[in-house]
Structure 1
């Protein structure tokens, strides 16, 4: 569990699965994924994988709640990146919030807390994040977090077909300050 002045990053609860499914069904939230919105079964399966990562590793994409506002607004955190990614092995930062909670600084606040935990308690030396090349909102979050982009690191996502308009991705990095 990680706490900030406004947020609690915590383990997933069964009651998070329904609002997570609503978030994943929103076509605006999911506009940068080739698969588009997720159905409830796929969303629940994803939430279960996120929960299992935290149980197995002691960190992950935490469920985020806002004190006095909402018991669940989405997820933010760090996880082990898949082995077939061109920059693996790596620790990936990620976030996905319900649209009602965009523009309030929650993603930045939660990600900074997750980064502090990763570099501090977990002793990580580098954290990466990636997004579809045209996903400027996520790229701005990465930049506001102090992450650095080098276009030599950009890549074609190995799980996307060659004609997929969301195939090209940018990679951002942040090294441990210590």
Structure 2
């Protein structure tokens, strides 16, 4: 497995004020598996995710980054991040802590749109409500439009996932459509697709 991970020299990386978006490391897997076994992290998914599926995904994401030059980057803190732990006590995540992923990924065929790529993110609950998803998603958006010159981007989630919908709106996306996902359980079938095109991005970034 080591040969697949830890290939930062082969991955285009992005950097924001507080986050490094990089290739996946084998050392990320323990925290990634733990994240996906957390019911809070998986609240808007059908179920928690098995360790085997988490490793399979990480390999897929790493392969996309190496092959395509972009994808779902592993997200790492640049500085210490303060948070409140499960016992209600103040705690600190040290610098260079893996916190999940942020990036670009092909939209599934089940989403009714001709948009090819979505912006996606999944972060550990310790860093929620600190603007890190928005910060990283903006960087992925700017890369997609500014470097890859993609024409459109989408992002979808279940209709009741208010936190993700807020991130979509904060990065300039608008509600494109509501739809019924054909393969999700009844509780997640009602979904929303947000979208943005490069022209809208260019207007937003004029003079920046």
TM-score by length of 2: 0.79
1:160 deviation in Å? 1.9
Whose relative contact order is higher, 1 or 2, with alpha carbons under 8 Å and at least 6 apart? 1
Matched, 1:173 2:185: no
Q: Which has the larger radius of gyration?
A: 2
Query: What is the correspondence of 1:87-98 to structure 2 with a 5 Å cutoff?
Result: 87-98=113-124
Matched, 1:160 2:171: no
1:87 deviation in Å? 1.1
For the 8 Å contact 1:83–1:89, the answer to whether it is kept is no
Match in the other structure for 2:148:
122
TM-score by length of 1: 0.92
**Of the candidates 42, 59, 77, which is equivalent to residue 70 of structure 2?**
59
- RMSD of Structure 2 on Structure 1 (CA): 1.3
Where does the alignment leave 5 or more consecutive residues of structure 2 unmatched? Answer: 1-12, 80-94, 203-208
Cα separation, 2, equivalents of 1:48 and 1:148? 32
Cα separation, 1, equivalents of 2:38 and 2:96? 18
Match in the other structure for 2:31:
19
Match in the other structure for 2:88:
none
Where does the alignment leave 5 or more consecutive residues of structure 1 unmatched? Answer: none
For the 8 Å contact 1:129–1:173, the answer to whether it is kept is yes
Cα separation, 2, equivalents of 1:155 and 1:80? 18
Cα separation, 2, equivalents of 1:158 and 1:27? 23
For the 8 Å contact 2:36–2:48, the answer to whether it is kept is yes
Q: Deviations over 1:109-145 (max 9, x none)?
A: 1110111110011001111000101111111111111
Match in the other structure for 2:7:
none
Cα separation, 1, equivalents of 2:196 and 2:125? 26
Q: Deviations over 1:53-98 (max 9, x none)?
A: 2122111110000113243100001111233431144211100000
Matched, 1:141 2:167: yes
